[in-house]
Structure formats: structure tokens, C-alpha cells
Structure 1
Amino acid sequence: MDARKLKRAIAVRMALEGKLYAEISKMLGVSDFFVGYWKNIFKTQGIEGIKLGYKGSQGYFTERQKDVLVDWLKNKQYWNLEELSKFVGKFTSM
């Protein structure tokens, strides 16, 4: 589980159990606003509301390219940035 989502869930649970926002804030290292915000989101949207909405961007390499690159790196005794750059440059023709 992502640490951000876990922190949200813990804050919400503690708030719903009646703990003071100041106590939760101090314990989790967040603001009182954070606690209240995610508690309200949970009340209106449920567990889906506290999940992360950002799914990340599409990766630069395909799965095949990643596999080729990892295998290439595993077989090297040392890594050279210039050599790596040239190797990755070949991916444009894949």
C-alpha cells in the first residue's frame, strides 16, 4: 500500500474514533487540515475517496525494451553512462 494512502486511512480512522485532530496531526506529521479534509472525503466518497487518483504517466520504454535493458545491465561487470546512452538509443529502432 502506498504510504500516502495509508497515512490518509490512519488519519481518518483515528478521527472517526474521536481522537483530537491535534493529536493525530502530531502523531502522523500532518496538518489538522489534512485530517479534517480526508475525514470529510471519506464521509462523502467512502474508501474510494482516499485512494490515490494519480496513476502515473506512461513509461518511456515498452515491457520488451525494459526486459532487454535489464538483461543487458545484469550482464555488465561495470556500468558506463556513455555506453548505456548508446544502448538505449538503439531502442528507437526497435
Structure 2
Amino acid sequence: MVNSEKQMNDLARRLSRNLYLCMGFGKPIKVTELAKKSGVSIAVISRIKNDWEGKEKVQVETVVKLAAALNVDATDLLSKDSIFEKLEARA
């Protein structure tokens, strides 16, 4: 695997993990509600959330929309560090 492809897969896995954590933290948000708030389709959100293998290629605009709807920074959704600590600090 080419290094850049591995990096993309790593980013996709991070996005999946952090989106999953954000959606379940505090008052959980359902995929349908996040879709309405973000303007991202239910199908795309589901694919991202369930992409444990890191195969989903997501546009930056989509990450920004999801982050805004979840009230987090887009960079936090792509962070190596778990977003859970930041979410707890905000609570």
C-alpha cells in the first residue's frame, strides 16, 4: 500500500471512530437527526460511522458539515487522539 493511501485509510478510521463517539456522547444523536442538522445524507453518515476499515473517502466539506452539526472542530473529528476527552471536558 502506498504511504498516502495508508494515511487516507487512517484518517477515515479516525473519522469513523470520532463520529461514533460524538454521536453517542451525552445526549445521543441519531443518524436521521444528524442528517437534518448537517445536510449530509443518512446513507453517507452511516457509511462513515460504520467504516472501521477506513475505506470510505470523505470530502472535507462533509467533515466540516458534520463537525458544525455536532458542535465540534472538524480537526477533532480527524484527530489521532480520541475526541472523548474533549467531549468530557466540555460537559
Give the TM-score, by structure 2 length. Answer: 0.28
Pair member with larger Rg: 1
